[in-house]
């Protein structure tokens, strides 16, 4: 069972470095009723709310799919598609796609813009953890990006330069190997935003992914959920 935990990472746009402001100008860190303060990153360009990866930390893909189908707190969320993921990263941390140097010569550890990497950690993670990872899968392929606050935050992690397009998914792995890491899944929702009474995001019935963008498996999941959504509560 997924144990969802509230986080308070106290992030705001004013806390981000000026060098990252333009790239992240359309992202807002918002509160949610179900998960607490600063737990959704709202993208005003796409209308998607991205749930913090701390909420789904150390959960296997199979467990995540079960939670999406059965946990009422996640009824209005789904796994992001690869196209949504690439679009978000291209604006949140674009230097992940243009790296020319790698830590220790390891292609899995590209050197990125530190202000962009800081924004990624602040928006999706927990300031008490050293490394923040975001994972995504279509049920076959696994993709990920991580950012390490060590060494001025210049070291990122990804499969991009090793196996472009992703690696084979291990559906029963949590991927985490350290207590200083967050290894959650990128879940998204559509919803309403209230900036008048405290920067608040309310998740709405999640839109089905565009099948042309590689969302066939996820589209099937959404249909199953709408037909057989259960009303049992889950622990928080």
The overall pTM is greater than 0.85: no
Distance CA 61, CA 139 (A): 8
The pLDDT confidence band at residue 225, using thresholds 50, 70 and 90, is: very low
Show the 3-state SS of the chain: CCCCCCCCCCCCHHHCCHHHHCCCCCEEEEEECCCEEEEEEEECCCCEEEECCCCCCCCCHHHHHHHHHHCHHHCCCEECCHHHHHHHHHHHCHHHHCCCCEHHHCCCCEECCHHHHHHHHHHHCCCCCCEEEEEEECCCEEEEEEEECCHHHCEEEECCCCCCCCEECCCCCCCCCCCCEEEEECEEECEEEECCCCCEEEECCCCCCCHHHCCHHHHHHHHHHHHHCCCCCCCC
The pLDDT value recorded for residue 176 is: 80
**Positive/negative CA dihedral, 127, 52, 184, 70:** positive
- The share of the chain scoring above pLDDT 90, in percent, equals 67
Distance CA 68, CA 12 (A): 28
The pLDDT value recorded for residue 25 is: 61
Residue 228 C-alpha from the chain's centroid = 26
Higher local confidence (pLDDT), 123 or 6: 123
The pLDDT confidence band at residue 206, using thresholds 50, 70 and 90, is: confident
The pLDDT confidence band at residue 96, using thresholds 50, 70 and 90, is: very high
Q: Which of 181, 157, 205 is nearest to 53 (CA)?
A: 181
Task: Look over the chain and give the mean of its residue pLDDT values, rounded to a whole number.
Answer: 82
Mean pLDDT of 143-152: 94
Asked whether residue 29 carries a pLDDT value surpassing 70, the answer given is: yes
Instruction: For residue 205, report the phi and psi dihedrals to the nearest 5 degrees.
Output: -55, 120
Asked whether residue 234 carries a pLDDT value surpassing 80, the answer given is: no
């Amino acid at each position: 069972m997924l144990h969802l935990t509230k986080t308070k990472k106290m992030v705001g746009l004013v806390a981000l470095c000026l060098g990252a402001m333009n790239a992240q100008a359309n992202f807002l860190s918002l509160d949610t009723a179900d998960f607490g303060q600063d737990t959704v990153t709202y993208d005003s360009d796409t209308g998607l709310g991205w749930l913090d990866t701390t909420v789904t930390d150390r959960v296997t893909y199979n467990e995540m799919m079960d939670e999406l189908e059965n946990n009422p707190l996640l009824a209005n969320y789904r796994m992001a598609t690869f196209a949504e993921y690439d679009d978000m990263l291209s604006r949140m941390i674009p230097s992940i796609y243009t790296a020319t140097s790698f830590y220790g010569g390891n292609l899995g550890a590209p050197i990125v813009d530190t202000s962009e990497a800081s924004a990624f950690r602040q928006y999706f993670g927990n300031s008490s953890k050293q490394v923040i990872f975001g994972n995504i899968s279509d049920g076959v392929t696994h993709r990920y990006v991580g950012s390490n606050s060590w060494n001025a935050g210049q070291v990122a992690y990804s499969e991009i330069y090793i196996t472009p397009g992703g690696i084979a998914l291990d559906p029963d792995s949590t991927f985490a190997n350290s207590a200083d890491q967050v290894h959650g899944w990128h879940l998204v929702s559509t919803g309403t935003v209230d900036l008048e009474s405290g920067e608040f995001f309310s998740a709405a019935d999640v839109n089905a992914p565009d099948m042309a963008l590689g969302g066939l498996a996820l589209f099937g999941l959404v249909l199953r959920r709408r037909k057989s959504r259960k009303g049992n509560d889950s622990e928080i």
